[in-house]
């Protein structure tokens, strides 16, 4: 507008003939600017939602794949290796919460030992790479020498910016590493590198190399997730990891882009019927919903986290739950449900929001 107004000084003889056109041009500029702001805001909100959904889909895919290979490995190794991949990862999760989601030496060594027990990895190392610098060692396992930045597998992985192994290269190019796995830690602006230099003979196959990559990505994703939801997980260790992470992410989306999400809390009496009622209530989640069953001496709370939901979504959710519960237990279930409350995610920190919902006293 200032640029257009300066054009007034360009005319040697001012006249009223051009005023309507000039005024229309000013109004058109204002309308276009307002439209641009609205469209940019909508685009950013859409991109933020897409990022959340993509991250959720990646974690869900990794979870399902890890569950499948965990069952297969347990069946194969139960006699001489009584270790479950899921139980081992659960132990690593607890260690990650203690470390605050930071990739420490102890946590890295614990993860490498898991790869040794489940995937036959004999020697490997975890490194952190910042920009174009040589990766710095975090943890190692087995007979592993110093990092080899000129190794063909490593150079190929850096060039393509993806994990590479002897499956992708000519075996004649193998020097030090059998596989290099990369994970981009966007929160800290560096890459995490897993370098595997030796695998037991019977485990050296394409499927096992792919499994190592999936477990490594699962491990790194989980560490990033714990770091995001650390305040909630430290306050409530029994809170599901994905619940804490999604609550933190959605609160940030609300702060930046005003994306609305909701917590819907069903409170039940802790009697002999609460177990069956709460278990069935937890199964009534939609595709993106996350459920947390929180038990105290005085009540049982079923907390639904409903991403990207407003008043209409809440009404629809309550109507669907009421219909399903009436079909299963009859209308008597409503006598055991003492209250239903909804809370908007945002406006305060996730931990502060949960403090307003959950009582301090819990079942030991």
pLDDT confidence of residue 189 = 74
Q: How far apart are CA 114 and CA 62, in angstroms?
A: 17
| Per-residue pLDDT tens over the stretch 302-321 | 999 998 888 888 888 899 99
Strand partners of residue 180? 164, 195
| Per-residue pLDDT tens over the stretch 282-300 | 998 887 789 999 988 888 9
pLDDT grade, residue 362 (50/70/90)? very low
Exposure b/e, 17-52, CB count within 10 A at least 16 = b = eeeeeeeeeeeeeeeeeeeeeeeeeeeebeebeeeb
Structure tokens given for 189: 């602006």
pLDDT confidence of residue 265 = 93
Mean pLDDT estimate for the chain: 82
* CATH number corresponding to 50-228: 3.30.450.40
pLDDT grade, residue 301 (50/70/90)? very high
Strand partners of residue 125? 140, 195
136-141 and 121-129 as β-strands: parallel, antiparallel, unpaired? antiparallel
Residue 187 φ then ψ, to 5° = -65, -35
**41-68 average pLDDT score:** 81
Domain boundaries, the chain: 50-228, 230-357
Structure tokens given for 275: 């177990």
Task: Give residues with Cβ within 8 angstroms of 123, minimum separation 6.
Answer: 140, 141, 142, 143, 144, 196, 197, 198
Q: Which helix (H) or strand (E) holds 277?
A: helix 274-282
| Per-residue pLDDT tens over the stretch 136-175 | 899 999 888 888 888 888 888 888 888 888 777 766 667 7
Residue 22 φ then ψ, to 5° = -65, -45
Q: What does R_g of the chain's alpha carbons equal in angstroms?
A: 27
pLDDT grade, residue 79 (50/70/90)? very low
For residue 242, is pLDDT > 90?
A: no
Q: Which fold has domain 230-357?
A: Alpha-Beta Plaits (3.30.70)
pLDDT confidence of residue 363 = 36
Q: How far apart are CA 318 and CA 311, in angstroms?
A: 11
| Per-residue pLDDT tens over the stretch 33-49 | 899 988 988 888 888 88
């Amino acid at each position: 507008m200032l640029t257009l107004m300066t054009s007034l000084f360009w005319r040697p003889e001012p006249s009223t003939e051009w005023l309507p056109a000039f005024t229309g041009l000013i109004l058109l500029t204002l309308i276009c600017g307002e439209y641009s702001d609205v469209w940019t805001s909508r685009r950013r909100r859409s991109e933020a939602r897409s990022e959340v959904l993509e991250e959720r889909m990646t974690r869900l895919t990794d979870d399902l794949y890890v569950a499948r290979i965990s069952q297969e490995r347990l069946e194969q190794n139960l006699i001489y290796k009584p270790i479950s991949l899921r139980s081992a990862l659960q132990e690593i999760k607890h260690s990650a919460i203690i470390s605050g989601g930071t990739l420490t030496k102890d946590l890295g060594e614990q993860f490498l030992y898991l790869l040794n027990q489940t995937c036959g990895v004999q020697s490997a190392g975890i490194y952190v790479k910042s920009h174009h610098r040589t990766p710095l060692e975090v943890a190692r396992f087995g007979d592993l020498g110093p990092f080899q930045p000129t190794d063909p597998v490593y150079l190929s992985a850096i060039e393509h910016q993806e994990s590479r192994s002897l499956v992708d290269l000519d075996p004649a190019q193998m020097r030090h590493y059998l596989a290099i796995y990369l994970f981009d830690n966007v929160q800290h602006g560096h890459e995490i590198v897993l370098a595997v230099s030796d695998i037991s003979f019977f485990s050296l196959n394409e499927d096992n190399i792919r499994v190592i990559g999936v477990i490594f990505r699962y491990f790194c994703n989980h560490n990033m997730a714990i770091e995001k939801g650390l305040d909630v997980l430290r306050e409530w260790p029994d809170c599901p990891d994905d619940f804490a992470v999604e609550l933190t992410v959605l609160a940030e989306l609300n702060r930046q882009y005003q994306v609305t999400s909701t917590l819907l809390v069903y409170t039940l009496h802790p009697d002999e019927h609460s177990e069956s009622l709460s278990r069935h209530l937890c199964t009534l989640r939609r595709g993106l919903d996350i459920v947390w069953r929180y038990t105290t001496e005085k009540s049982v709370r079923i907390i639904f986290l409903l991403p990207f939901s407003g008043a209409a979504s809440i009404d629809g959710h309550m109507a669907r739950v009421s219909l399903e519960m009436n079909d299963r237990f009859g209308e008597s279930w409503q006598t055991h449900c003492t209250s239903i409350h909804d809370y908007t995610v945002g406006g305060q920190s996730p931990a502060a929001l949960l403090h307003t919902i959950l009582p301090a006293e819990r079942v030991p």
